Chains A and B, each alone.
Chain A
Amino acid sequence: MIYVYALLAAESVAPTTRGEPGLEGGAVELLAERGVVAAISRHTTPHVHANVDNLWQHERVIEAMMQTHALLPARFGTIFPDDERLRRVLVHHHDAIVAGLQRVAGCVELGVRVSGKIQTDAPQPVTVPPTETSGRAYMLARAAEERRRRDAEVRATELTSTVHEPLTQLARDGVLRPLLTQDLLLSAAYLVERGRVDAFRAHIAALSAAHAGVRILCTGPWPPYHFVPPLGPVEADHG
């Protein structure tokens, strides 16, 4: 089984993982096909275990290579049964991969999370005792939940204009991410040129100072996971 970490352009100087081993200690090697290179490791097991150690090792291998080379990070768990099938995919998607690499060249991804309680003039949500099962209590709970949701939407819209849009100006690209936890007000990823990372972080610090009620956290640099091209399926095998 072949495990894929990232796609890169073939260059005169090959990327290295700076001593980082692949998953489960496997050696990371490069498989080149018509100007595109896949960073891979070979395993005798049919799949890799999705545990936190392996997730971090996937990340460390990619981060090591991105110090010197533009790359498209692969999603964790991308495996192929043999070289031939991987080569076929690289050939099929050659142009999209090359265009994708050009888009992220010289950039890193930074994550921004804004969290905090919604400040609102509305009365506190009514707490329904666990024993209370009347229809009225249910409706009160629903109304409180609906009010809280609306407040969160209003706040998220405000933050989009005061936080997301200015940050997008400092980035080559930016995407808003879904809010998966209740206290998260904004979550976004930005594709930032390496030379502008410090300016980006300085802007985050200024935003933090200006928004005392919320917590603004910048993470990264990450490989450009949010800025990879969508690759459609390869045509069914005709041979």
Chain B
Amino acid sequence: VSERVPEDDVTLLELLDRVLDKGVVLSGDITLSVADVDLVYVGLRLILSSVTTAERTRLEPPVKPPDVPRLPSRAEVA
């Protein structure tokens, strides 16, 4: 498994880590979150960085890779 990430993918990763994870949150009781944001975030991260060992799963015994949620289709990613 290559651990090199092409720079375009790095830029997209950096974008994901910002627009989906940071930025001002305008109060939960009124803001309606986009239903599939979390799924897209996790899915794209997995595709882009071959994350089989995210920080929190790394602390678990290396028995088997974490269960991978359904990934967005290529059409959604492209």
Contacts and interface: CB of A to CB of B under 8 A. Distances in A.
Nearest to B49: A181
Contacts, number: 147
Contacts of B14: 111, 113, 219, 222
Contacts of A78: 23-26, 31
A199 interface: no
A47 B23 contact: no
A234 B78 contact: no
Q: How large is the interface on B (under 10, 10 to 19, 20 to 34, 35 or more residues)?
A: 35 or more
A10 interface: no
Interface in A47-92: 47-52, 55-56, 58-59, 72-81, 85-86, 88-89, 92
Interface residues of A, number: 59
Interface of B: 3, 5, 7, 10-12, 14-37, 40, 44-45, 49-51, 53-55, 58-59, 61-63, 72, 76-78
Interface of A: 4, 7, 47-52, 55-56, 58-59, 72-81, 85-86, 88-89, 92-93, 100, 111, 113, 115, 117, 138, 141-142, 145, 149, 177-183, 217, 219, 222-223, 225-226, 228-234, 236
